[in-house]
Structure 1
Amino acid sequence: MTENATPAAPSVFRNVAFLRLWTGTTASGLAMWALPFVLGLAVLERSITAVELGVVLATRTAGFLAAVPVAGVLADRHSRRGVVFWSCVTAAVATPVIAVGMGRSLLLMAVAATIVGAGQGACRPAFQALVAEVVPESGRQQANAAITLAVRVMSLVAPSMTALASLLVDARALLALTGVVWLCAALVPPAGTAGPAPVSTRAGFVADFAEGIREARRHPWFLAGLGALTVVIATGYSASAVLLPVVSRDRYGAEAVLAAATTAYTIGALAGAALIARWRPRAAGWVALAGLGCYGLIPLCLLLPVHPFVLIAAYAVTGIGIELFNVPWFTATQREVEPGKLARVSSLDFLLSYGLAPVGLAFIAPAVDQFGVSAVLGGCAVICFAAPAAAALVPSSRGFRARA
């Protein structure tokens, strides 16, 4: 028997508070995904150069990583709704400033992009903790699946909407519209149900964040899963991002394979989120880690001379697998972690899993020069398979819970 025989929970979209939260999260996802494409259009318009584009995107990432741990502490100290509001307002105000700096000041653009990234990073742990406040435990898996579905749809829709809008207005106007979307993300989410912890017990940001780390260490399944996720993203994701274009060009002689593979990944992720919205496997943790291990198929198929349809299918299966991991992972974190420390633990999750991705991207190209494409892809495939398997050996990883 692979599923618990429990009645289906009512749709989370009947929960008005969650509907507002889902709308706000979707708006933030749209704004986040739209920005790189708007800046890409600015390069095509010659409003900025490719070098300036790289600087702006890099500073945005730096702002994101710097804000995540601070926001985790603030979201546990204060209202999660308040942190969402001010972080999204910050991004809304700073985004049009990037447009002001176009063609005038790279420094102004970089500073504004840093602030936008900080707003993006600050809202992530607060949104994650707010789900646990507005959705009962029985509906959180469905709620997390609905949120990740929206995020994946935005990754498909945002480029198309940006391209269509560019037929009517220029990149500067599109940046202003992106700021409006951030403003919607700030205003729509509901108030949570939890109050802040007593401020008098606080010893500072570092001590508070260290307390969140101690809470994470209380959950061996969390440490094991986070380690596996971080390693897979730093190797499998990086290998795909750097080497898929090369393999598509050199082996298959067409960029169509690149477009088809990335699209198949997103479609697979949508299917995975739809599946896990209702599927309740008994060994949820093992199923999730098996899904994460599917990432090893990508470097393996990039290594072997497979038919392009096999490579595209591998990306689709990996997309399914990553959502079979993400949704139970977020749900278990919201269930198992002490509510007053949830935002800090979530910020640790985002900081490591997303924070080390640029490090992996930076090392892939030098590793290829040093060891060759085959060795790098083979090593990445082994790591992507082995890391989730090792995490599954931790006893509490079977169900992503410390208690039976």
Structure 2
Amino acid sequence: MAITPAPAAAKSPTPSPRSVLRDTAFLRLWAGTTASGLATWALPFVLGLAVLHRDLGGAALGLVLAARTAGFLLAVAVGGVQADRHSPRSVVLCSALAAAVAAPLLAAGLGRSLVLMTAAAALAGAGQGACRPAFQALTAETVDAERRRQANAAMTMAVRSSTLAGPALTALLAAFLDVGTLLLGIGLLWLVAALVPGKGARTAADPAAEPAPRAGFRAEFLEGIREARRHPWFLAGLAGLVAVVALGYSATSVALPMISRDRYDTEWVLAAAMTAYTLGALAGALVIAVWRPRSQGWAAFAGLAAYGLAPLSLMLPVHPVAVVAAYAVAGIGIELFNVPWFTATQREVAPDKLARVSSLDFLVSYGLAPVGLALIAPAIEAFGVTAVLAVCAAACFLVPAAAALVPTARHFARTAPTSTD
């Protein structure tokens, strides 16, 4: 509620919070997150180069990447519990060091031991998975509430930039370095992610304080689920993510290369659409960093539903520019959802349960993508690409729209906030 100044006092404008980009603690956290993103996106590309150089077979590549995904999914839940139990900073340190150790093990096993490479890939995936919820919780500890939207926008811009810069930088370095050296370079990036971020607020607390007794892992994870259930808007958001990730994203991942080849007879549409999606996401992050919609939850769900334009554009015999434009709009929309979603989670969820609730988000986002990919291809063979794309586009539009009707979804808050953050 606004406070009326005393009559004798001169009105002064409310000071705007200092830019998060001038905060040294946040910049260290951002640098660590960026390094982890570059390492994450570079690894599959480097392993692909190993196939081209005949150091790794196609079947072996699939096994190594599957082990990485399995390690990621297992560690997301564990990392969330440990970040709440101890501190996000300690989990970032340990998990990033684990991923750093995995890099030279991958290099040692390259062309020599598939068993070693598979184990190292699982370790690398575990490090990546445990980092994700810990970084979310560490952001909430490092940045005050007024600047978290800006901080989350900067974080997501780092992730999106990594999807472009990681493979591109790797391809450039591959002209001068062999695959083993590139893998060691990925290990160095993980060392940056481990060592550069500073301490969060909880880490900087009195070290002599007696820690409270903790329940077992299962009990604490279930406690995180109960906390998530206290926020209907969060459960609604997860439902929207299921539709977009498991159906929309998976369908377009399978269909776009096929349609680029068969309908347009060129790889240009595939490359241009994926680039437009990433550039759109960067633009969306810039927009939402400064835009404050009055009903931020409804605006976020509208952005999430915009992904339906991607499968819709692939259904219709449109000009390839329309496909590229649809992917650009989808990229903008996904960040109009992501940034308020992360910010609201950091604001609404109890701080000592934030990492566990964030781990549920990543489990849904990353865990259902392989399931969707495994089911979409057989569905296309059985029903045809147009029918599958139609169902997926409808799900992308309708499920977020239904989620927006859930109580508390309008503002991503249990009670209407006095500000949009």
Unpaired runs of 5+ residues, structure 1, are none
Aligned length: 400
Matched, 1:41 2:53: no
Matched, 1:299 2:336: no
Aligned with residue 73 of structure 2, among 65, 76, 91: 65
Aligned with residue 278 of structure 1, among 285, 290, 308: 290
Equivalents in 2 of 1:230, 1:326: separation in Å? 14
Q: CA deviation at 1:95?
A: 1.3
Tell me the C-alpha RMSD between the 2 structures: 1.4
Q: CA deviation at 1:86?
A: 0.5
Q: CA deviation at 1:201?
A: 3.3
Q: Flag the 1:231–1:201 CA change in 2: closer, same or farther, 3 A.
A: farther
Query: Deviation per CA, 1:145-193, whole angstroms, max 9, x where unpaired?
Result: 0011111111111111101111111000000011011001100001011
Equivalents in 2 of 1:389, 1:7: separation in Å? 37
- Superposed counterparts of 1:219-230, under 5 Å: 219-230=231-242
Equivalents in 2 of 1:85, 1:24: separation in Å? 10
Equivalents in 2 of 1:246, 1:274: separation in Å? 32
Q: CA deviation at 1:395?
A: 2.3
> Which residue is equivalent to 2:228?
216
Q: CA deviation at 1:10?
A: 2.5
Aligned with residue 121 of structure 1, among 106, 118, 129: 129
Amino acid at match of 1:168: F
Please give the secondary structure, in 1, of the residue aligned with 2:29.
Answer: helix
- Superposed counterparts of 1:221-260, under 5 Å: 221-260=233-272
Please give the secondary structure, in 2, of the residue aligned with 1:139.
Answer: helix
Equivalents in 2 of 1:99, 1:213: separation in Å? 39
> Which residue is equivalent to 1:361?
373
Q: Flag the 1:362–1:272 CA change in 2: closer, same or farther, 3 A.
A: same
Q: Flag the 1:6–1:254 CA change in 2: closer, same or farther, 3 A.
A: farther
> Which residue is equivalent to 2:104?
96
> Which residue is equivalent to 1:370?
382
Aligned with residue 321 of structure 2, among 279, 285, 309: 309
Q: Flag the 1:27–1:369 CA change in 2: closer, same or farther, 3 A.
A: same
> Which residue is equivalent to 2:94?
86
Aligned with residue 189 of structure 1, among 197, 211, 219: 197
> Which residue is equivalent to 1:332?
344
**Contact between 1:229 and 1:353, CA under 8 Å: does it hold in 2?**
yes
Equivalents in 2 of 1:267, 1:170: separation in Å? 30
Q: CA deviation at 1:200?
A: 4.6
Equivalents in 1 of 2:273, 2:373: separation in Å? 19
Q: CA deviation at 1:96?
A: 1.4
Q: Which runs of 4+ in 1 moved over 2 A?
A: 5-10, 195-201
Matched, 1:287 2:299: yes
Matched, 1:77 2:85: yes
Amino acid at match of 2:60: E
Unpaired runs of 5+ residues, structure 2, are 1-12, 417-421
Please give the secondary structure, in 2, of the residue aligned with 1:103.
Answer: coil
Matched, 1:19 2:63: no
Q: CA deviation at 1:9?
A: 3.5
Equivalents in 2 of 1:385, 1:328: separation in Å? 19
> Which residue is equivalent to 1:134?
142
Equivalents in 1 of 2:45, 2:387: separation in Å? 33
Please give the secondary structure, in 2, of the residue aligned with 1:395.
Answer: coil
Equivalents in 2 of 1:391, 1:8: separation in Å? 33
Q: CA deviation at 1:6?
A: 8.1
Query: Deviation per CA, 1:114-143, whole angstroms, max 9, x where unpaired?
Result: 000000000100000001001010000000
Query: Deviation per CA, 1:290-331, whole angstroms, max 9, x where unpaired?
Result: 000001111111111111000100000000000000000000
Amino acid at match of 1:344: R
Amino acid at match of 1:82: S
> Which residue is equivalent to 1:401?
413
Please give the secondary structure, in 1, of the residue aligned with 2:400.
Answer: helix
Q: CA deviation at 1:231?
A: 1.8
Superposition TM-score, scaled by structure 2 size: 0.93
**Contact between 1:230 and 1:354, CA under 8 Å: does it hold in 2?**
no
Matched, 1:143 2:155: no
Amino acid at match of 1:175: L
Amino acid at match of 2:242: T
Q: Flag the 1:139–1:249 CA change in 2: closer, same or farther, 3 A.
A: same
Please give the secondary structure, in 2, of the residue aligned with 1:397.
Answer: coil
Equivalents in 1 of 2:396, 2:390: separation in Å? 10
Percent identity reads 66
Amino acid at match of 1:87: S
